[in-house]
Structure 1
Amino acid sequence: MAEVASQTVDLVGREVSATLAEARGALESYVEQPDNAQLLETCAQQLHQVQGVLRLLEIYGAALLAEEMEHVAQYLLATHAERKSQAESLDALMRAMVQLPSYLERVLAGGRDLALVLLPLLNDLRAVRGNALLSEGTLLLLNLRSDQQPQPQAASPGEPALTVEQWARRVRARYQMGLIGWIRGERVEQNLQTLAAVAAKLEQVATRQPVFQLWWVIGAIIEALQESGLESGQSVKRLLGLGDREIRRLYEQGEARYSQSPPVELLNNLLYYVGRAECAGPRVSAVRTSFRLRELLPVDESIEQERENLSAPSVKLMQTVAAAIREDLSKVKDVLDIFVRRGAAQPQELSPQVELLRKIGDTLGVLGLGELRASVQSETERLRKIVEGTLKADESTLVEIAAALIGVEDKLDDSLVGMILPKDAQVPRAAEDTEFQQVQAAVLRECIVNLARIKDAITQSVGGTLDAAGLDSWPDLMRGLKAGLLLLGKARAVEVIEAITVQLKRVMQPGIHVLPPGYIDRLADAIVSVEYYMETLQAGRSDPWYM
């Protein structure tokens, strides 16, 4: 049976390769006959077929690349009359045409399907269309931080004593000239030197960390380009182009205001390319060390070999990515919860969550988690319709969306562990301790009952109707709750219970008493959070420590 399945996959693989060859042939013919738009339509149709087959085969990394290629072909078709960005788009698409069959061949031969190794090419395919890069707001929104502080230098002899804003206004024209010359391929070394000088000057005069770090990292990118350690692809050109926008923003807003809203996504994208540079100049090495890029990205001399082998990312990267995805999913769920509590009156309030879910979907796609990506994309589409008013924002629909996101969250750990392990390895699972599960279920059941009694007692105490028996019983209920969680080894939850107990002593007093504004609301939030935590454990989900 396995032999038949293998033969079927091989047969489908050959058909996919043949279809890709037809798409490439149509694209090459279009280059020779730029007025024949029908060739582009053929190319886009062939790529759409390839994408569908790859999804059926569950080769999600290759499917994601085919999807981005199809988008570029459609973009070329849409801009056919004006010839907008034709050269750059054709170059990126042709490189993808060469790389996709090679990637697919390795995966069908038993290699790992991991779109992460295709990220530079995926970024280029997006850059030529003016879309957000896949590393923007996804993989590298990992709270990368550096403790490196600015070290402003005094003006050199003969130099005017200018502020950061004045220097930014002064050097912007030089940066623009160097950038345009480099993008056009004119006097490349000289123009890169101009860009390096501007970056170094802004790094030297910066007095606040966000400004200093941005230009320190841009300086590392330019150093890598000068040492031929980084290809000058469309993504890198776009990122350095965004540097010009940041110079203008710096002198228009002033350094203090600018530092309050630093360009986090731009910095993270730049760090990704510093991490994959194939050189080790002083700036590149210093940035890698300061931001600890070696823990997240392979940056040594074996990087090309690792890409050839389609190696898995580091465990550290997977842990960081998982935490980032969970945090973003929690933000969406919290906003949905608040939206429902407020009566679901203004669906437009959910617009930022649509964009956040789209970024989460991109991240899952880059990781090759196609099923989870499809689930997130489905809920993103439903939420988009709610925002646009074509779908009613009722509570049941929003609960279904939240439940689907919880399902993604639950499957995330197993999916990422499966990526890290060798392909033929089994995911290690602890032996199921049935007796412990029964004990845990019983303890949690009693804890939830106790918490319900405590909530009733608080309501009566606030209203001034709690009798003496109630005043005497709540400490015992809290001690029972604490003991139960201690028995289950939930130390963090025990700390929260202890803090709630301290605050309850102010509330659970005889008579009517005045409390600070919002005090009861905050206390209620804490109690409900503990209740939700216990119900989550009782439902059999993995310990939601992030709560």
Structure 2
Amino acid sequence: MVTGVTSLGLVRDELFATMEQAEQSLEHFIAERQNGSLLQQAVEAMHQVRGTLNLIELTGAELLAQELLDQATDIPAGAGEERDVQLAALSNALHVLRRYLENLDVHRQEMPELLLPAINDLRQAGGQPPLPESYFFSVRLDQSRQAPVPGLPEGVDAEALGRRFRQAYQQGLLGFLRGQKVPSALRTMERALGGIERLYADQPRGRLGWIGAAAIEAQLDGQLLARKSRKQLFSRVDRELKLLLGNAAYEAPRSLQKELLYLVALADSQGPRSRELREVFGMTALPFTDQLLEQEYQRLSGPGQSVMRSLSSAIFEELNSVKDTIDLIERGTAPAESFGNLHALLGKLSKTLVMVGLNSPGNALQVQLPLVATWSAGSPVDANELLKLADAVLYVEGMVAGLDSGKRSGVRQPVEPGHEAESFANHQLAEARIVVLDEAQAGLALAKRAITAYLESNGEKPHLANVPVSLQAVRGGLWFLDQERAAALVGACGAYIQQQMLEASAMPSEQMLETLADALTSLEYYLEGGAGMRRGFQADVLDLAANSVRALGLPVAA
């Protein structure tokens, strides 16, 4: 089972080399705009990148590459200052695309929503309308409300009341757009749309109030960012309210409904309106939050992995100097000037860490500075104070390791001073889980290669000698990761190989071998997807593996 993420590894080196060529050619063209051959080289490289991404089916990355290609071909040789914005957007988008693919190569998880800001910057520079936030979001819009909504008493002037509801919505919208008392403004908007919903409960136009009120509830409860696109979205709702009033046949545009439903799915609010919509439209929680999207996009816009590797290497050198000094102080052999040098080095490291976004590690060193300032060669240093500094340094070292590997750690939680050792231990545990997962993937890959050799040799059993042991190791690793179901399935595959392929006198039938291959492939895909360690990861793949194991005649727990 091959996915776009899996296929990326097959073309990685050539793809990144082509992207680097495109970036360099574009940079040179920006400096020498009369040299049309440089622009042509960049366009040809972008065309090759787009074709490669299309081949390995990375939809979001391919879309950005296509936008890059469209914009680049629109720029003439000798472009003047009027093209500066377009060229800047091209340069930034190339950088974002490369960073996205670097992260994808490490984390094995597609998140095309991260590319929308760069895509829309390109489209805006080229005079095209932006793509909506919900572009990569899918939902069925033909669902109807099941529970009836109580309407308003008879005799009410519906049109006059509708205009009052719209005025209330506009008042709240104005506060939201200006950033003034935003929670109160959103509640006003929600109540107004709730009134529209009840006012036209028995008409199609009431649907806008129903979905819109839930979206505003999600915006408030989920603390979604007040992005420009969302301000434009809620302003569009106001314009639709104008069309709605006086038109009994009005139906909200499907594109607007989808945008509003996306906010409900993104916020994962527990409000009554949001819960109802998620149930009616069958929406599940998205594998990311609004805050995570913002944080990850900032990472994409930051320095590339090569720069971060150089930075982490420099930080590690300074951390090693700190550790050497601590060791000398602990032994009582530190020169007198070491204490002042240690204080200066810790201060420098603290500022550097904050500059690269590692605020918590930077603060962990910062709180040690007053303590270190009191140390001197004339008096012994308290062992507990040295231990606290050592804990802080180890914590920083663990966090800086993520710079080198490009690991995504989600929203970093600040660490209280004095709790660095506990945080470092948790970090090490997370690292251990990643290592175990990698080893499990390697064990499955080894088993698949051995089975292939067994088949090609027409059933020579020595090829399978180590497979049951390898699969038992994978099984144990999955138990460590609390993946009991996956562990049981791997163990079942190992048992089948031991009993039906190693101990049996005859080879299993071709159909049974294909079924075994299906089970192992499903398990491999599950591991590639993070083995359920990521929010929103679907375990349906394990159902496929379980069906294959049952077909092998082995018992499988429900």
Q: TM-score range by the shorter chain?
A: 0.3 to 0.5
Bigger relative CO (Cα 8 Å, ≥ 6 apart): 1
Provide TM-score, normalisation by structure 2: 0.40
Provide TM-score, normalisation by structure 1: 0.40
